[in-house]
């Protein structure tokens, strides 16, 4: 719904602006076509001025997709560079812990070394942990 002052007194000048308020502040994205009708006191038929209004939606969804793609790319790069070797070392360490758990006498001797290797893996000192796990 659009509203303007009624009646408006327009001076005889080449250019005159009349503010028009749009009551629905957020129209849906679309192409709107209509006209503005001015009823002049000297004429019986209203003067029609064509009006086209293009409303566009903000780029929220493309920005979210772009940010999600960037985050996924960073995650994949991390997993390729650091996450893969880290998970491989942790898998080897857990396998070694299971083998040691079979012999409880050796487990007491080797537990400090396992804890040290696990701490090295969690602290991303993979080269140091790799020496201990092989």
3-state secondary structure 64-81: HHHHHHHHHHHHHHHHHH
Percentage of residues of the chain with pLDDT beyond 70: 88
The angle formed by the CA atoms of residues 126, 130 and 134, to the nearest 5 degrees, is: 165
Domain boundaries along the sequence of the chain: 2-55, 60-133
**Residue 10 pLDDT exceeds 90:** no
**Residue 96 pLDDT exceeds 70:** yes
Confidence grade of residue 134 (pLDDT, cut at 50, 70, 90): low
Tell me which residue of 38, 34, 49 sits closest to 10, measured CA to CA: 38
Q: What is the mean pLDDT of residues 78-82?
A: 81
Give the span between the Cα atoms of 97 and 114, in whole angstroms: 8
What is the per-residue pLDDT across 100-124, written as a single tens digit (0 to 9) for each?
A: 888 888 888 888 888 888 888 888 8
Q: What is the mean pLDDT of residues 47-76?
A: 90
Spatial neighbors of 45 by CB under 8 A, at least 6 apart, are none
Confidence grade of residue 3 (pLDDT, cut at 50, 70, 90): low
Burial of 117 (0-12, 13-18, 19+ CB in 10 A): buried
Tell me the backbone φ, ψ of residue 65, rounded to 5 degrees: -65, -40
State the chain's mean pLDDT as an integer.
Answer: 82
């Amino acid at each position: 719904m659009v509203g303007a002052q009624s009646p408006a007194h327009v001076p005889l000048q080449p250019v005159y602006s009349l503010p028009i308020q749009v009551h629905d502040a957020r129209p849906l994205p679309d192409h709107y076509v209509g006209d503005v009708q001015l009823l002049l006191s000297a004429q019986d038929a209203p003067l029609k001025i064509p009006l086209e209004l293009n409303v566009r939606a903000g780029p929220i969804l493309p920005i979210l997709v772009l940010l999600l793609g960037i985050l996924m790319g960073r995650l994949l790069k991390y997993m390729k560079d650091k996450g893969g070797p880290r998970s491989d070392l942790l898998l080897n360490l857990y396998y070694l812990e299971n083998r040691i758990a079979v012999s409880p006498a050796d487990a007491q001797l080797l537990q400090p070394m396992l804890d040290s290797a696990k701490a090295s893996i969690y602290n991303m000192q993979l080269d140091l942990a790799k020496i201990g796990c092989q």
